[in-house]
Chain A
Amino acid sequence: MLRRYHVVGIPIRIVVNNFGDHNPDGRIYVLKENEEKVRDLVRKNPFTPVDLVEPLTIRACEGDTVEILFENQLPFDAGMHFQEADYDVFDSDGADAGLNPDTTVPCGKSILYRIYASREGTFFFTDLGNVSSTEKGSSIQGLFGALLVQRRGSTWTDPVTGGPLHSGVYADIHHPFLPSFREYAWYFSDEMEIDDLTGNSPLNPMTNQEGESFHGVNLRYEPMANRKRLIDEGVVCPDCDAEEVHHDSWVFGDPATPILRGYKGDPAIIRLIHGGAKETHVFHYHVHQWLGDPTNTQAEILDSQAISPQSHYDVQPLYGLGSLHGAIGDVIIHCHLYPHFGAGMWGINRIFDTLQDGSQCYPNGMPIAPLKPLPDRPAPPEPTPERPGFPNFIPGKVGFKAPRPPLGIVGGREMTELEKNTAIPNARPGAVFAEPTLENANVVEFNVSAIELPVVYNKQGWHDPKARFYVFDEDLDDILSGKKEPEPLVFHVPAGTVIRFNYTNRLPHILDGDAFQLVTRTYESGYHIHFVKFDVLVSDGANTGWNYDSSVLPGETIQYEWYADTELKAFFVHDHLFANSHQQHGMFGAGVVQPRFSKFFDSCTGEEVDHGTQVTVSHPLIPDYRDFSLFAQDFTMLFDKDGCPIQPPPFPGSEDDPGVFAVNYKCEPLKFRLGEDCDPAYSFSSYVNGDPVTPILRGYAGDPIRIRLLQGAHEESHSFNVHGLKWKEERPDLGSHFNSQQHIGISESFTFETELKGPGDYLWAFETEEDVWLGTWGLIRAYEELVDDLIVLTDKSCPPPRTKPLPCPTGKPPARAEPLSTLPPHATPCAPVRRYDVVAFQTPIIYNSYGDHDPYGIVFALAEDVDDILSGKKNPEPLVLRANVGDLVEVSLTSRLKFDLFPFKDGIHPYPPVKEQAFYPPSLRISLHTSLLDYDVRTSSGDTVGYNPDQTVGPGEVITYRWFVDGQHGTCAMWDMADLRNHRSFGTFGAFIAEPRFTTYHDPYTLEEVKTGANVVLKNPLVPTTREYVLIMHDGVRLEDKNGQLIVDPVDGIIPGIEEEEAGDLLDTYDNGSRGFNYRSERLINRYRELPKLSKLFSSEVFGDPATPIFEAYTGDAVTFCLTNPSERRRAHTFHLHGHYWKFDSKDLDSRVQSFEGHIVAGFTADLRLIGGAGGVYNFPGDYLYRSGNIRWDIEQGMWGIFRVHDKLKSHLPKLE
């Protein structure tokens, strides 16, 4: 079917809330039929949101051809680029890429794009005519939308009128033989320009400083600051503070942000889209869970999901709205990054239990818009005076805080008559209006309190004088007396358990002020929980919309009830009332729903327990295992031993990245671990420095383990890596690929199931540079022989008795490892050996033709290439090694590092910066670490960690690592572990590709066999000949320009430039540094200086080809992109390849198809096997951009390149056989 849309790009004022905050320079896509209407409405309503000013959301069906006539009324060249779509890149790319014709159009002109909607999904569209990251850009000012492609045969209607719908973020989708469902498009965006009602930058009434930047949904935001002003002025709720009522509709009425309306049980899909520019957000949806991959029933279950710029996911709540138990009420949906949440990035899913035909009102008199029941579901009952339905049975007072729930608070109130009429038959504390529990359930009861107590984070006396955390009441005395050390509360229950939870608020009324924060009246708190089933009206531990406020005052106790219906991973718990004020002080924890019939034991004593971050789990049917919980923390507000604040923000109350980082209330900064020799190569060594104070996860070699990974606080992305172990990405799915790295944002939860395959110390680390620098790392220790304080798993034979004493610190570097003395644990004795001689040395690296270069590059290269690189014949590329499944790889590494060639000989590495700069001189030692491969962690991990021997080499020394390729892992990360601070920014990384057995590797231009290279042809007797392109996406690079001047990216690369004062607080430390692919960066600013025309900056006709790799293929060639990020900064990236898509999990045929990779941070690896091969399924020739999806600050800074697909034979490029 052919569908046609006429879309206009227009400049428009975007009013983002009812307080009159607005973007005077907004830009949106709108249907032509609405253009005049929307302009008129905006003219007449200068301070009120206009519904049509929203991200344009249009629809089509799978199999449709969609013709979009795009008309540009914007004051710059613009276009529409569609992700996920099939299209001819010559006429419908919406960009001027490489040698293609320009498919952007100038102001006043139109262009016809033809999009083939080959499959269901979200075809996100945005503009590539103006990728400026400033307010002069397009995306950042609102120019994005989506074509939502439905199943073939679908139709859609307006949920309010039931009539036809041409565009809009809400629709009811119908199908001849599938259930109708509610469709909600939810667009996160960030950093948009905002003025307040008076035309000035909004101020934060608490700090009287400039407010937080825009973080919103569907071009709306509802900041706490605005609502607080109404309290301060005495308009509403004079006894309230701010954060505890931020989401309270009783006080303020409904927010301007999206309210996704439906009836209990309605099937629904939220099309979660990141239209913004910079941040990786975490989407969290209370009460509900969904499959991480909706096409794969064995996918991991989520209730929080990180999303990077220009990426998208489907959130299809299991069991429909209200989940399994049919909860009713207001369910908050928000970005879990607290500063964003506070800034207004939230909305509500409103689940009604009675029919809404337009005759009802909310308690504040605002009419409730009609909502058509889905046609294939029974209509909900009509409201009656006795049973008015949500929210009109709740005894609240408009203008005042929401009432407390009935029954739940000890000593509290009974139900009113209206509440009784709505309640379930056996209403009880914590379960009044929805029955969370199935019959026959096992019941446990826990008593937990929140307390405030100083906590010391490390041996150097870094401490949080106002730490706040949850404790079991039975541990209160021991913790208060110092007998027991505080840790995040983790309780364990078997599946099928009802948890009755008595929560007592023992916190002081006041969170005192200091260099980090202003005095805040945190007078109530709750215990909000993820994953499990609960009555959201009374047990949410939150205060949302027209619900009750299910928190308690100091000294009060509230009873919650939750049902853990099936085995889950760890579920996150935290306070929801003053989370932005005190969660970073430690107010978080987790519950773990273990397999039914599990029992839990203290791993040291063997006593049966029900809580702890390290326990041993025993089960009558499945193997016993060790269970470890790790919580990443940022915004950790610590003071040193002298009482000085560590990394305070510019002013108290600022959200500008205050404090440091930690794990489980501990940190082990590297600056304290230099040792006597001041050599960073031994910073992780327990011989030199003793064990870290951070968690050491203990077991015996061979023990199965489960690592529960969570993030407790507060705003940033972290990258968890374990060296030497790996796990299935989707734990329930045996077909999924292995991983040894995981990006995490606050509230996400992952379980990694693996085993301690051999003895030794395994490094775990949140492994971006600044995280490790500040101490977010620790060990997994696998003992070979029995130790006194670690019980043996009941189904394992007892390890041999101890024959030698446990190692202890010596202050000296350990003995050198002897990798050739052992085989990797899984290596077969007769494995073929593949050898590489690798040299690490310093050499300048030229990043582009404009002379941007790194004069202090440190690279790995094959020994045979060293002379050519040093003589300038070859510009170095990151080293790419390959081997086949079953190969034993022996890599001999030689160090030729010279102290004189390091730039910062005084030991202070100033740029790119990290927090807590300190003396940390460059190491002349170096190593090679790979992820995913099989090796003896004591000899061949490339780490000198814990009590393992030394696996680094100094100048003139050689070490030969042994790695076994135990699976077709594809891309493995590879980097140096000797000196993260002084080496990585200069290029000490590469990639290892684990190929199928019998594969040979060939130069794409000569077809001769090669040993290395980012661009090769793979030949294999069993699988098709394939072009393989390795893309190493890296950041944190220190570049100088052709005149030897330091390039301070991203600021120096911003187009058209920014004022100096704007640059001041624009960046976090981890935004600094240049970036690119494979030691190359095509910074757009260089091109812009030659020709200041934004839409032309990707054009090879104007500028020649970029310096980044040009990968060439013929249409239909089998192609795999091997993508990895070995570097170093914490800002997560998105990768997008125009006109192509691939399976999210290359190993899993059931996995979803997508054209992007999100949350790319240190250790990330993926193999993108292009569906249909080069040119996509239609085999269209042309130049396809590969690029970052981050407008801030990647694309301008050079993170892009070209994939060139030919349809005619080229003499320089042999065809594949």
Chain B
Amino acid sequence: MSQQSINQLHDEGLIEHFTMGKGYRVFILTPSYPFMFIGEIKDVRDDIVDIWVETTHFSQLENRLWHIHIDNIEVFYIEREGEPEIPRLSEDYY
């Protein structure tokens, strides 16, 4: 029987889920700046998720690798085949 606490189990579950999401697009909300990320999960190292971020609130922070601690992820959605698509956001308005 596992001696792990419920918090450890919770963290492990999240790590496993994100690890299985490698290569997929993800949508994340965090309570800290810049609050929102859309991108591809590149790797999971310990409890840090590496995401190639295609979109945040601020274009200056896009198209780069972000390392996000799973404790800082409040809301997420990993897009898999056959499931609703995360919008591809662009600024070709004018």
Contacts and interface: CB of A to CB of B under 8 A. Distances in A.
Report if A and B associate in a common complex: yes
B87 interface: yes
Contacts of B58: 496, 566, 596
A893 B87 CA distance: 53
Interface string A441-485: 110110000000000000000000000000000000000000000
Chain A CB count within 10 A is highest, among B36, B59, B87, for: B59
B93 A599 contact: yes
Interface string A590-602: 0000001101000
Contacts of B59: 438, 440-442, 496, 596
Given A440-B62, A621-B87, A596 B57 contact: yes
A597 B60 contact: no
Contacts of A440: 59-60, 62
A465 B55 CA distance: 50
Contacts of B81: none
A873 B93 CA distance: 71
Interface string A421-445: 0000000000000000011111011
A1214 interface: no
Contacts of B36: 621
A653 to B, nearest CB: 44
A831 to B, nearest CB: 33
A704 to B, nearest CB: 19
A620 interface: yes
Nearest to A440: B59
A494 interface: yes
A756 interface: no
Task: Give the dominant DSSP class at A's interface.
Answer: loop
A444 B89 contact: no
B71 interface: no
Interface in A587-640: 596-597, 599, 610, 620-621
Interface in B30-49: 36
B57 A494 contact: no
Interface string A485-512: 0000000001110000000000000000
A597 B62 contact: no
Nearest to B94: A444
A494 B62 contact: no
Interface in B46-79: 57-60, 62
B91 interface: yes
Contacts of A496: 58-59, 91
A495 B55 CA distance: 13
B60 A442 contact: no
Interface in A1089-1118: none
Contacts of B91: 442, 494, 496, 596-597
A439 B89 contact: no
A597 B94 contact: no
Nearest to B38: A621
B60 A438 contact: yes
A610 B57 CA distance: 21
B93 A495 contact: no
B37 to A, nearest CB: 12
Bin chain A's interface residue count: 10 to 19
B93 A620 contact: no
B25 to A, nearest CB: 14
Task: Give the dominant DSSP class at B's interface.
Answer: loop
Contacts of B93: 442, 444, 494, 599
Contacts of A438: 59-60
Nearest to A596: B57
B9 to A, nearest CB: 31
A445 B94 CA distance: 9
A620 B55 CA distance: 13
Interface in A752-807: none
A566 B58 CA distance: 8
A1025 B87 CA distance: 53
Nearest to A442: B91
A619 to B, nearest CB: 9
B27 to A, nearest CB: 8
B46 to A, nearest CB: 30
A494 B94 CA distance: 11
Contact of A620 (B57, B62, B89): B89
Interface in A103-156: none
A620 B90 CA distance: 11
A597 B94 CA distance: 12
A874 B58 CA distance: 64
A495 to B, nearest CB: 7
Nearest to B87: A620
A495 B57 contact: yes
B41 to A, nearest CB: 19
A401 B68 CA distance: 55
Contacts of B90: 597
Chain B CB count within 10 A is highest, among A439, A440, A445, A566, for: A440
A437 to B, nearest CB: 10
Nearest to A621: B87
A438 B59 CA distance: 9
Contacts of B62: 440
Contacts of B60: 438-440
Contacts of B57: 495, 566-567, 596
A596 B56 CA distance: 9
Contacts of A495: 57
Chain B CB count within 10 A is highest, among A495, A610, A620, for: A620
Nearest to A438: B60
B86 to A, nearest CB: 9
A441 B58 CA distance: 9
A1027 B19 CA distance: 58
B34 to A, nearest CB: 10
A439 B36 CA distance: 19
Contacts of A442: 59, 91, 93
A439 B94 CA distance: 18
A442 B62 CA distance: 13
Nearest to A598: B93
Nearest to A595: B57
B47 to A, nearest CB: 26
B93 to A, nearest CB: 7
A620 B59 CA distance: 16
A442 B87 CA distance: 19
Contacts of A621: 36, 87, 89
Chain A CB count within 10 A is highest, among B87, B90, B91, for: B91
B75 to A, nearest CB: 11
Nearest to A444: B94
Contacts of A445: 94
A468 B28 CA distance: 48
A441 B89 CA distance: 14
Nearest to A443: B94
Interface in A1052-1090: none
A440 B91 CA distance: 11
A599 B94 CA distance: 10
B39 to A, nearest CB: 14
A494 to B, nearest CB: 7
B78 to A, nearest CB: 16
Chain B CB count within 10 A is highest, among A441, A445, A597, A610, for: A597
B87 to A, nearest CB: 4
A1000 B87 CA distance: 52
A440 B55 CA distance: 12
Nearest to B63: A440
Contacts of A439: 60
B20 to A, nearest CB: 24
A1191 to B, nearest CB: 45
Nearest to B55: A597
A1033 B59 CA distance: 49
5 contacts: A438-B60, A442-B91, A567-B57, A599-B93, A620-B89
Which 5 A-B pairs rank lowest in CB-CB distance, beginning with the nearest? Answer: A620-B87, A442-B91, A440-B59, A597-B89, A444-B94
Interface of A: 438-442, 444-445, 494-496, 566-567, 596-597, 599, 610, 620-621
Given A438-B60, A440-B60, 7 more contacts: A438-B59, A442-B59, A445-B94, A494-B91, A496-B59, A596-B89, A621-B87
